[in-house]
Amino acid sequence: MIKPIGSNELQPRFVYDVAEHDKLSKEAESLPSVVISSQAAGNAVMMGAGYFNPLKGYMNVADAMGAAEKMTLTDGSFFPVPVMCLLESVDAIKDAKRIALRDPNVEGQPVLAVMDVEAIEEVSDAQMKTMTQKVYRTEDMEHPGVAAFNSQGRFAVSGPIQVLNFSYFLDEFPDTFRTAVEIRNEITERGWNKVVAFQTRNPMHLAHEELCHMAMERLGCDGLVIHMLLGKLKPGDIPAPVRDAAIRKMVELYFPPNSAMVTGYGFDMLYAGPREAVLHAYFRQNMGASYFIVGRDHAGVGDYYGAFDAQTIFEEEVPKGALEIEIFMADHTAWSKKLNKVVMMREAPDHTKEDFILLSGTKVREMLGNGEAPPPEFSRPEVAKILIDYYQSL
């Protein structure tokens, strides 16, 4: 299996030893504490689960700037985005060397992690501007990722962490949330040798399903990990439990036994387009995938990114040798009326737009809300049924 990034074995920051976990939990209750942002909580979960291997904690400003400007930390290691714990106020933890980080997303705000504080720095407006521009390629506060990043505060608290739980993800998605460690173990148990990963924050329509089949066939893979985002999305996106049910139904009916695994990870969507595509590849390598599908406008939002910027970044900006995982670069897929099957649009040069069955997201939502299934060339009827039930319940 492909090696994790930066080490021979994963080094998750979750405290697995029961006695140590109990001891740390007790200690945490007496430590100075602070409620962190949802984005920082997602970062803790990803470090705890091994996805951000070999990162041991939140970055200081120099490392965060290095990640933003050139995807390289001060020690020369690779990381594609800043991983920060930004706070509006540090009054409660001033001068503390060890603190408890509390979860903003769980009732009662329990301790999520314990941190050894190495630095508390105030981030300048210029530094925030640079990081925002480099990661998101815009400073427009209408961009949901830009708004979330810039609304956390200006005090960066950095240092290694020990993670005590996986926030709400394990309780709310017990059948789907998996750590990178667990996914690696399951790949081994299933006997898969070559694995391709597919990222989604939406239900999968027929075109997505066929894209996965295409990638598996062309790459010679015996396993597919459908890896869905379970964290916070922008308003209007379909909730994770509905997506989960729709995807599981599709896999059950339209994939051979032991060929696809449905899993999820706990992280808030950045909508950072190209830079987030690199982050997605980073943690897919850590979870054991040899290949990762990157399609048109991957992880984008609105019109902030070009259709294939999330593909060209791997060739033009990612430092050579930083990633071992290989990218399967996909075009938009759709049903061809001429060929009577789903194809990648770039592989049908003799087609015009009218030769494909194309429906906008708005049109699909309108149909589902009216109890009307999209055509079977667009969506499997069993998947459409689950989505119709959701939209009609609103």
pLDDT digits (tens, 9 = 90+) for 360-384: 878 888 888 889 999 999 999 999 9
Residue 305: its pLDDT value, please?
A: 94
Crossing angle between the packed helical segments 125-136 and 274-286, to the nearest 10 degrees: 80
The pLDDT score that the predictor gives to residue 57 is 98
Query: What is the gyration radius of the CA atoms in the chain, in angstroms?
Result: 21
Q: Strand, coil or helix: what is 286?
A: helix
Distances (CA, A) of 330 to 261, 317, 355: 21, 19, 19
Q: Is the pLDDT of residue 159 over 80?
A: yes
Beta strands in 223-340 (DSSP E): 223-229, 260-265, 291-294, 326-329, 333-336
Q: Are 348 and 357 in contact (CB under 8 A)?
A: no
On the question of pLDDT at 394 being above 90, the answer is no
Residue 236: pLDDT band with limits 50, 70, 90: confident
Q: What is the pLDDT of residues 36-71, one digit of tens each?
A: 999 999 999 999 999 999 999 999 999 999 999 999
User: Across all residues in the chain, what is the average pLDDT?
Assistant: 94
The pLDDT assigned to 180 comes to 98
- Indicate whether 158 pLDDT > 90: yes
Closest-CA residue to 138 (of 146, 127, 149): 146
pLDDT value at residue 364: 87
Going by pLDDT thresholds of 50, 70 and 90, the confidence category of residue 253 is: very high
How high is the pLDDT of residue 17? 96
Q: How confident is the model at residue 190 (pLDDT cuts 50, 70, 90)?
A: very high
Taking 90 as the threshold, does the pLDDT of residue 239 lie above it?
A: no
- Which whole number is the average pLDDT over 205-221? 95
Which amino acid is present at 46? M
How many helices (H) and strands (E) in the chain?
13, 15
Mapped onto helix, strand or coil, the DSSP state of residue 393 is: helix
* Residue 388 structure tokens: 């119709």
pLDDT score of 195: 98
For 85-143, the pLDDT digits (tens) are: 999 999 999 889 999 999 999 999 999 999 999 999 999 999 999 999 999 999 999 99
Strand partners, 329: 294
Convert the pLDDT of each residue in 274-319 to its tens digit: 999 999 999 999 999 999 999 988 888 889 999 899 999 999 999 9
The rounded distance, in Å, linking the Cα atoms of 78 and 275 is: 13
What domains, with CATH codes, occur in the chain?
A: 18-167 (3.10.400.10), 175-265+271-393 (3.40.50.620)
pLDDT > 70 in the chain, percent: 99
Distance from C-alpha of 111 to C-alpha of 165, rounded to nearest angstrom: 8
Residues 6+ away with beta carbon under 8 Å from 227 = 197, 198, 199, 200, 263, 264, 265, 284, 287
Using alpha carbons, list the distances in angstroms from residue 240 to 55, 197, 247, 353: 27, 18, 10, 32
Q: Tell me what pLDDT residue 238 has.
A: 82
Contact (CB, 8 A) for 365 and 374:
no
**Ranges assigned E (strand) in the chain:** 33-35, 57-58, 86-87, 98-102, 111-116, 119-122, 155-163, 195-200, 223-229, 260-265, 291-294, 326-329, 333-336, 341-344, 356-357
Specify the DSSP element, H or E, that contains 35. strand 33-35
Residues with active-site annotation: 201-202
The mean pLDDT value for 345-367 works out to: 89
pLDDT at 235 over 80: no
Q: How far apart are the first and last CA of the chain?
A: 44
